[in-house]
Amino acid sequence: MRELSRRRPPIDFVDLEGELRSQGFSAIAGVDEVGRGCLAGPVVAAACILKPNAQISGLADSKQLSPQQRDHLFGLIQDETIAWAIGSIAADTIDQINILQASLRAMEQAVGRLHVPPDILLIDGRFPTALTLPQQTLVRGDARIASIAAASILAKVTRDRWMHDFEKKHPEFSFSRHKGYGTPQHLEELRCFGPTPIHRWTFQGVTDDHNIPVS
């Protein structure tokens, strides 16, 4: 898990999992989410328990990888896990409860769907979940902790594939390209066609200039 690409230096993850195992924790789940800043689509989280001696060449924060690298790692990560699972919260619920609460709920879903109960959670970011499990939050954890980096890739690839499928239902939007983020192309599509049911209608930029009431 040292070499990311010829153009990037090796990634040295902090061996927090090893330290926790020495303290008696055996099922350590990395947890991360993707899609918080999007204007459309769900927020998606993954929980991932890596094997103690997992070796995943090229593993890194999903944001630092190309789509091709993420797709390749998606399969490698699955081979090196004890368990992994996905949780997601749809756009209409995001509008009801806000994106932070939706992100935490997606994480809780992912953890709850693991077929191996975790002993402790390592969560990317500042905010813990409402679960009663021991948990530790880590800012930029996806760049520091192997299991969180793995979770970030599982969540990112899953969400990207879902957005590609959404484009089939809404071909006027290039969801397979911008993945629902507020790119100039996406904003222009919103101006031309208006929001769809998978848009987050409470987000700035979605209903701007449309005169469409938000219910």
Tokens representing residue 92 in the block: 């209409």
pLDDT of 39 above 70: yes
Q: β-strands 120-124, 81-89: how paired? A: unpaired
Q: CA torsion angle for 206, 210, 211, 215 (degrees, to 10)?
A: -30
Confidence of residue 64 (pLDDT cuts 50, 70, 90): confident
Q: Domain limits of the chain? A: 16-193
| pLDDT attached to residue 12 | 57
Q: CB of 99 within 8 A of CB of 89? A: no
Residues counted in the chain: 215
Tokens representing residue 50 in the block: 């890596």
- In 24-129, DSSP assigns E strands to 28-34, 43-50, 81-89, 120-124
CA distance 199 to 38: 9
| pLDDT digit string, tens, across residues 130-182 | 999 999 999 999 999 999 999 999 999 999 999 999 999 999 999 999 999 99
pLDDT of 11 above 90: no
Output 63 or 5, whichever has higher pLDDT: 63
Confidence of residue 9 (pLDDT cuts 50, 70, 90): very low
Tokens representing residue 49 in the block: 């328990």
Mean pLDDT over residues 106-118, rounded?
98
Q: What is the DSSP letter of 21?
A: H
Q: What Rg value do the Cα atoms of the chain yield, rounded? A: 18
Determine which of 22-26, 37-41, 94-98 has the lowest per-residue pLDDT on average. 22-26
**Identity of residue 161:** R
Query: Which CATH superfamily includes the segment(s) 16-193?
Result: Ribonuclease H-like superfamily/Ribonuclease H (3.30.420.10)
Task: Decide: helix, strand or coil at residue 117.
Answer: coil
Output 157 or 54, whichever has higher pLDDT: 157
Q: For residue 144, how many other CB atoms are within 10 A of its CB?
A: 18
Q: How far is C-alpha 184 from the chain's CA centre? A: 23
Q: How far apart are the first and last CA of the chain?
A: 48
- DSSP alpha helices (H): ranges in 115-183? 146-169, 175-178
